Chain A
Amino acid sequence: GDSVTQMEGPVTLSEEAFLTINCTYTATGYPSLFWYVQYPGEGLQLLLKATKADDKGSNKGFEATYRKETTSFHLEKGSVQVSDSAVYFCALSGTSGTYKYIFGTGTRLKVLA
């Protein structure tokens, strides 16, 4: 079945470091791909999305490119801040005629001052 695999956390970085959180997927058809961020005690907020191959989603300095050839949607940010500390979820939707989300397990990011 369809699935999303994220790198395990926690990822611990110093402020201003470069961030990569890997996300790969297995899916039939052509899913839409999403990154959500969850701050402690809060719900999920959409960070960025891409709906077709080679699309690049970007928001708040974060970027991710939909790579069909490698079935990947890695999240990157050039310079992280302490305020970026959160859990990041990769998700896909829209395969096999379904709208339901398939989430990865989440990656916790800790940014140290």
Chain B
Amino acid sequence: DAMVIQNPRYQVTQFGKPVTLSCSQTLNHNVMYWYQQKSSQAPKLLFHYYDKDFNNEADTPDNFQSRRPNTSFCFLDIRSPGLGDAAMYLCATSRDMKWNEQFFGPGTRLTVL
């Protein structure tokens, strides 16, 4: 089945230690998104790629970066995680930019010690 895969499902890191979260998709979609979701809140868009074009949300901290080496993979890098970065990180894809539904992965739960 075509799908969005996130690894790992659970990630524990230490305060200030860089961490990378991975997302892959078999849908061959052009757009890939990263969301941050804190407990009992709606997902918050951090940034997205349309093909190779990177689009950062205005309020996304510089501590968060992303890479998309090819169509299938997208990475979220947190350069110096703080306690406030503990959250669920969701990857999503959509076929293109025009009103298409987004397909979400299962998420990675990040714990910062």
Name the prevailing secondary structure of the B interface residues.
loop
The reply on A32 being an interface residue by CB < 8 A is yes
In the assembly, what is the distance between CA of A36 and CA of B103, in Å?
10
Query: Which listed residue, B6, B31, B42, B101, touches A46 by the CB 8 Å rule?
Result: B101
Contact status of A43 and B101, CB under 8 A, knowing A104-B42, A106-B42? no
Contact in complex: B42, A105 (CB < 8 Å): yes
- What's the count of A-B pairs with C-beta under 8 Å? 52
In the assembly, what is the distance between CA of A32 and CA of B24, in Å?
26
Cβ contacts A95-113/B at 8 Å (1 or 0 each) = 0000111011110100000
Cβ contacts A37-70/B at 8 Å (1 or 0 each) = 0000111111001010000000000000000000
In the assembly, what is the distance between CA of A99 and CA of B41, in Å?
21
Interface size class of B (residues with CB under 8 A): 20 to 34
Contact in complex: B104, A89 (CB < 8 Å): no
B residues within 8 Å of A by Cβ?
Answer: 4, 6, 31, 40-43, 45, 90, 92, 94, 96-107, 109
A residues within 8 Å of B by Cβ?
Answer: 32, 34, 36, 41-46, 49, 51, 89, 93-94, 99-101, 103-106, 108
